Amino acid sequence: MRLLFLGDVVGRPGRVAVIEQLPGLRERWRLDCVVVNGENAAGGFGISESICDELIGAGADAVTLGNHSFDQREAMVFIARQPRLVRPANYPPGTPGRGATVIETRDGARVLVVNVMGRVFLDPMDDPFAAVEREISACPLGAAADAVVVDVHAEATSEKQAMGHYLDGRVSLVVGTHTHTPTADHRILPGGTAYMSDAGMCGDYDSVIGMQKHEPIRRMIQKTPGSRWEVATGEGTLSGLAVEIGGNGLATKVAAVRLGPNLEESRPTFWE
């Protein structure tokens, strides 16, 4: 199975990069499954129904979220009727939406997609380790699922690494999101799980985490309130991870994906 995970889509530059490039990549790389984190897709804060539909229409099989899941109030309603949209599973009971979903690929394979949010340096949430355990126990790899993808939306690298090792050998991929900066530690863990601490963002890298530079810099220097952060408007770069998954549901190959300006290009040569 060929799986592509794309990191946080930030505003219009990120959306344009995904919408323009993903259809061609699906065909060129013969992708079986694509998961996209869309929690910053609407002006940098949250996701709207129309944007979610655009990402799915471009080729995303599932869209994951994070700490900005409900910044757009309409998400409180439409998330319930969109089975491909997944918010963190460790939100408190009663939160609208779902923390995991099973998608079926074109050849009939079943992919469990789980989203959890970290607790270090973020709002207090239910235990992400217990939430993941609950979801993969209900749909275990090799029995009810042919592949399992876990998006860990977290600030702390240590928390993401701990999750990777905790799940090693039991899921296909553990990938971090949230920091908007791709890490260089993509690898296959000893038990066969693909791992990357952060997939980076799909957005304008001539920025501060996808936002126009002036206001974040001013706040850090002056430490006073100011204007709202605005999405940077330059050309977007796709950033994520390519994973090839064997018949046992574990990873056999992994490569960083970076396509666009400002970052050194990287692509899965084993699919070219």
Q: How far apart are CA 257 and CA 131, in angstroms?
A: 28
- Write out the two tokens for 17: 């990069």
Element (H, E) at 50: helix 49-58
Q: Which residues are catalytic?
A: 68
Angle 126-129-133 from CA coordinates, rounded to 5°: 110
DSSP state of 3: E
For residue 80, the tally of other CB atoms under 10 A from its CB is 12
Rounded to an integer, what distance in angstroms lies between the CA atom of residue 257 and that of residue 267? 5
Work out whether the CA dihedral 102, 105, 110, 113 comes out positive or negative: negative
